[in-house]
Amino acid sequence: MTEETVMLQIQDTLVSLDLAERFFCCDLDACKGVCCIEGDAGAPVTEAEAEKLKELVPVVERFMLPEAIDRIKEAGVAYVDEEGDLVTQLIGGRNCVFATRGDDGEGICLCAIDKAHREKLCSFRKPSSCHLYPVRLTEYPTFTAVNYHRWDICRPAEKLGREKGIRLYQFLKEPLTERFGKEWYDELVLACEMYLEENS
């Protein structure tokens, strides 16, 4: 069995060893949040999330760019990309419509939905795929694959994580627990710790 095929089995999921091996801690000062404005497709969303986003537009539009609001009026909050996935709408084929700039003058890209959530204007924080990033989920008939999406723009996050001693599975404790439950996350922690001890 090659290294690429080795995974951690946690309940009905197969988890990439990257979650145990890789260090990670978002460094917005370095990356400026460009994961919201780079790439060739929007953020993956479920049908239910797309409906929720549609409902939230009147709440979050105060934080959105004018062209983003126009784009949603024209084409909706989500579309099906070339791979057949439902994703958030883009501006100019690039920026997520919910991406906006902060008021700190540093040019950091923020999520309008997350900003509204932090200001207690809505209970919905952001789509699961955004909350879990840089982990991506792939659903199969009998299991879910949990993989690390490696991207050059996240190198500062890997560096900061290494400096702080934060592993990817630790950094994503909240969204992983929210998505899979506390029992699942506790099993993941145990599996990661055992793997790291055995391979130290």
What is the per-residue pLDDT across 117-134, written as a single tens digit (0 to 9) for each?
999 999 998 899 989 999
pLDDT band at 74; cut points 50, 70, 90: very high
Strand 13-16 relative to strand 144-148, pairing: parallel
- d(C-alpha 42, C-alpha 37), whole Å: 9
Name the residue ranges covered by the structural domains of the chain.
1-24+134-200, 31-124
**Is the predicted pLDDT of residue 40 greater than 70, yes or no?**
no
- The confidence score (pLDDT) of residue 94 equals 79
Average pLDDT of the segment spanning 36-48 = 80
Cis peptide before 134 (omega within 30 of 0): yes
**Is the predicted pLDDT of residue 38 greater than 60, yes or no?**
yes
- The confidence score (pLDDT) of residue 3 equals 44
Q: Tell me the helix, strand and coil percentages in the chain, rounded to 5.
A: 50, 20, 35
Q: State pTM to two decimals.
A: 0.84
Average pLDDT of the segment spanning 62-86 = 92
* 89 in Cβ contact with 42 (< 8 Å): yes
Average pLDDT of the segment spanning 169-179 = 96
- The confidence score (pLDDT) of residue 2 equals 39
